[in-house]
Amino acid sequence: MSQRLIVGPFNRVEGDLEVQLDIADGRVTQARVNATMYRGFEQMLAGRAPLDALVIVPRICGICSVSQSVAAARAIADASGVTVPPNGVHTINLMLACENLADHLSHFYLFFMPDFARPVYAQRPWFAEATRRFAALAGEHARAAVAARQRWFEIMGTLGGKWPHTLSIQPGGSARAVEAAERIRLLAKVREFRAFLETTTFGAPLEEIAALDSEAALQRWHAADPLRGDLRLFLTLAADLKLETLGRGPGRTLSFGAYRQPDGSHALADGVWNESLGRVQPVDTGAIREDATHAWLAGDEALHPSEGLTAPMLDKPGGYTWNKAPRLSGEVVETGAIARQLASGQPLIRDAVARCGANVYTRVLARLVELARVLPMTEQWLTALAPREPFFHADRLPADADGVGLTEAARGALGHWVSVRHGRIERYQIVAPTSWNFSPRDASGTPGALEAALEGAPVQPGEDTPVAVQHIVRSFDPCMVCTVH
């Protein structure tokens, strides 16, 4: 028996999302993803003073606000040619890491794990423990995580004035210099967050997690104390529910590289991981195209973002979402923490993906490994600050210039392309992480990453909002407000 199901609204994703499912014999046969809200940031930016972008783009998204600021500042810096002093590089990385790690924490404790406290799992052996730790608005560890997140974001209060929507991230660096005494207080805040992660999330030192180099090592670590720390509980229920069989990705992942260093390298390297080749290929941003065939947007031809167009066209035949379909060399790619861990060669994630691909289990695992890897980096960046050396270099933007700003948001690769003419923004195009992951079909009819990942998902009799579909959707940590922008 076949049926069609319209699923939504999804909560515990950022923004509004609808998924249309065709179901036959208890499995999803086809999925269409609809990003249901349009605001038109690319249209708003045209005609503005270039630096107005620093006010406007963070407000695309309340959860990836700093990432949007970093991309805009880099695009304008690329256009002006200004270089950022090392102190500016480090403080901007600290702000970006503060946001990205907080997003990973929110995703795990507030968005993803509460679904395992649903009555459908009441008979599973781990259910009572999962409910105690993760139940929505009640779980003990979820509540502790909100408190830890609030304290962690005080780093943004100092460095960025507030979160979200700071203006301290400038093309020439940071508008907020850090004094020596402030650094001591910031280091104390990092250690406080480390203590939460080591006690509650991992039940182990971060370095021990980051050093896990294979799934065999992970299994040994898990078996030694199966309920200690929330990563181990996740591994327990992931194995029981076979989460590795849900939500298979397209086999290619994209990272623009995270936390650029003063020497131009990235703390987490960029790259396209190709599962079938088993290796990393370089990122060719010239091969990015956005296809609007199935979006309620004008344009028949797939365009590079530097030439991109955004114009609503509500009654477009074939349209079913406000999101365009980005493609890399014509292919669907997935982006996110898993892409960063694969591109940067983290051995555990490479081993797990080699065995079972990108899926619900490996996506969540990659986020937690990233938390353990990046937090120690923030300690190094704070230590590397040189108080009383410059944090900012002044620049002058030419009246006519073009720039590209690439970065990694928590959810993956984010790019801004800006063209300035006669001192005003002429064109501004944004390709956000969830634009990649939740893209509609392209001109050739190829479904986007989530659309394909949903195919084959089990639907239990009587389910109107299938729980497996919810796990798959949330495993990508979607941000719908960024997707369409």
Show contacts with other proteins in window 134-193 (CB under 8 A). Answer: 135-138, 143, 146-147, 149-150, 153-154, 156-168, 170, 172-177, 179
**CB-neighbour burial class of residue 311 (10 A; exposed 0-12, middle 13-18, buried 19+):** exposed
DSSP string, 436-453: HHT----TT----HHHHH
* CB nearer other proteins, residue 295 or residue 302: 295
Least distance CB 313 / other proteins (angstroms) = 10
CB atoms inside a 10 Å sphere around CB 86: 18
Residues 6+ apart with CB under 8 A from 328: 252, 254, 272, 284, 287, 288
* CB nearer other proteins, residue 126 or residue 221: 126
* CB nearer other proteins, residue 15 or residue 271: 15
Least distance CB 310 / other proteins (angstroms) = 10
- φ, ψ at 234 (rounded to 5°): -60, -45
* CB nearer other proteins, residue 191 or residue 228: 191
Least distance CB 155 / other proteins (angstroms) = 8
Cα separation, 36 vs 51, in Å, equals 29
Cα separation, 23 vs 468, in Å, equals 13
Least distance CB 13 / other proteins (angstroms) = 8
* Segment (H or E) for 62: none
Stretch that binds other proteins, among 50-58, 242-250, 411-419, 434-442 (CB under 8 A): 50-58
- Identify residue 131 by its one-letter amino acid code: T
* CB nearer other proteins, residue 116 or residue 221: 116
Least distance CB 106 / other proteins (angstroms) = 8
* CB nearer other proteins, residue 12 or residue 194: 12
Match 């989530």 to its residue by tokens.
450
Could you say which residues in the range 185-244 bind other proteins, by CB under 8 A? none
* CB nearer other proteins, residue 43 or residue 329: 43
| Beta strand 169-170 pairing with 424-431 | unpaired
Looking at 9, 226, 278, 398, which residue binds other proteins (CB under 8 A)? 9
* CB nearer other proteins, residue 182 or residue 331: 182
* CB nearer other proteins, residue 251 or residue 466: 466
Residues 6+ apart with CB under 8 A from 458: 26, 27, 466, 468
Count of chain residues binding other proteins (CB under 8 A): 85
User: For the window 274-313, what string marks contact with other proteins as x by the rule CB under 8 A?
Assistant: --------------------------------------x-
Is residue 124 within the footprint of other proteins (CB under 8 A)? Answer: no
Least distance CB 115 / other proteins (angstroms) = 8
Chain centre to alpha carbon of residue 58: 15
**CB-neighbour burial class of residue 398 (10 A; exposed 0-12, middle 13-18, buried 19+):** exposed
Looking at 11, 219, 281, 383, which residue binds other proteins (CB under 8 A)? 11
- Identify residue 286 by its one-letter amino acid code: G
Looking at 48, 124, 183, 304, which residue binds other proteins (CB under 8 A)? 48
Stretch that binds other proteins, among 9-17, 204-212, 276-284, 409-417 (CB under 8 A): 9-17
Nearest by Cα to 433 from 154, 102, 103, 32: 103
* Segment (H or E) for 157: helix 154-160
| Beta strand 401-409 pairing with 258-260 | unpaired
User: How is residue 440 written in tokens?
Assistant: 């509609």
Looking at 27, 56, 275, 402, which residue binds other proteins (CB under 8 A)? 56
| Beta strand 271-274 pairing with 252-255 | antiparallel
Least distance CB 117 / other proteins (angstroms) = 7
Cα separation, 311 vs 298, in Å, equals 5
* CB nearer other proteins, residue 395 or residue 402: 395
Could you say which residues in the range 434-463 bind other proteins, by CB under 8 A? none
Cα separation, 471 vs 462, in Å, equals 18
Residues 6+ apart with CB under 8 A from 52: 45, 425
Least distance CB 110 / other proteins (angstroms) = 6
- φ, ψ at 406 (rounded to 5°): -115, 140
Stretch that binds other proteins, among 108-116, 210-218, 396-404, 409-417 (CB under 8 A): 108-116
Looking at 106, 419, 429, 475, which residue binds other proteins (CB under 8 A)? 106
Could you say which residues in the range 383-422 bind other proteins, by CB under 8 A? 387-388, 390-392, 394
* CB nearer other proteins, residue 268 or residue 292: 292
Could you say which residues in the range 256-275 bind other proteins, by CB under 8 A? none
* CB nearer other proteins, residue 267 or residue 484: 484
Helical H runs in 58-139? 65-80, 86-106, 127-134
Could you say which residues in the range 332-391 bind other proteins, by CB under 8 A? 387-388, 390-391
Quick check: 431 and 406 in contact, CB under 8 A?
no
Least distance CB 240 / other proteins (angstroms) = 20
Cα separation, 385 vs 186, in Å, equals 12
Match 């801004």 to its residue by tokens.
416
